[in-house]
Amino acid sequence: MIRIITIEREFGCGAAQIAEKIAARLNWKLWDQLLTQEIARLANCKQSEVELREERRDPLYRRLLKSFALGSYEGNLGVYPIETLDADSIVKLSERVVRQVAETGNCVIVGRGAQHFLQDRKDTLRFFLYAPKAEKVRRLISEGYSQQHAEALVDIVDRERAAFIRNYFHVEWPNLPVYHAMINTMAGDETVVNAILSFLKQDRPTEAAAD
């Protein structure tokens, strides 16, 4: 029986709102900003610090600094001379939280690599949401972004997410085989919500027959 839905997404396609609607319809827990909050709690840092680093690689200068630092301190009882809240630690904490959340079930998880962490679970449906660039820009403008900023963000954020997936999961983004369906949100939020929920109905034929 399906107990978990993961939603990976292009930036600006409306996935956050769609995930919220799905969770509300199912009366399941939504893990989007809550994931960031929990990671920040475990890392003992501010949520804003996690938001700056999740679903992206460290900048080049930080990767080089870490490489030099680890080389200089090799064998020094694990002393780590630079800030430990980096992309690697965020990914480890993300996996820990995602797996714990999955064990409780009845949840919708947005991003954070959940589709890869949970790809072997039989009780999980995995979706990828996308939209044409013009539609994503339109959504972002309606949320208060300027057109110039919106156009830049839809490229930059997705490029960072692609690099993150390539770096930590060694696949291209989006990794087509991992998803049960890829849905264009230009069809409308309600249409997308109903399409995703229809997959759960297919998972419950024996329950329906028993009623």
Q: Note the pLDDT tens digit of each residue in 127-167.
A: 999 999 999 999 999 999 999 999 999 999 999 999 999 99
pLDDT confidence of residue 204: 57
If one compares 63 and 133, the residue with the highest pLDDT of the two is 133
Q: Is 73 helix (H, G, I), strand (E, B) or coil?
A: coil
* Pairwise CA distance, residues 46 & 24, whole Å: 28
* Pairwise CA distance, residues 66 & 30, whole Å: 34
pLDDT confidence of residue 187: 97
**Percentage of the chain with pLDDT > 90?**
71
Angle at 196 between CA 194 and CA 198, to 5 degrees: 70
Query: With contact defined as beta carbons under 8 Å apart, do 30 and 36 qualify?
Result: no
Mean pLDDT taken over the chain: 85
Helix (H) or strand (E) holding 91: helix 87-104
Q: Is the pTM of this model over 0.85?
A: no
CA 44 to chain CA mean position, Å: 21
Under CATH, which architecture does the 4-210 domain have? 3-Layer(aba) Sandwich (3.40)
**Percentage of the chain with pLDDT > 70?**
82
pLDDT beyond 80 at 105:
yes
Query: With contact defined as beta carbons under 8 Å apart, do 3 and 98 qualify?
Result: no
pLDDT beyond 70 at 33:
yes
pLDDT beyond 90 at 69:
no
Enter the tokens of residue 160. Answer: 């960072």
pLDDT beyond 90 at 103:
yes
pLDDT confidence of residue 51: 83
- pLDDT tens-digit map of 168-193: 999 999 999 999 999 999 999 999 99
Angle at 126 between CA 145 and CA 142, to 5 degrees: 15
pLDDT confidence of residue 58: 55
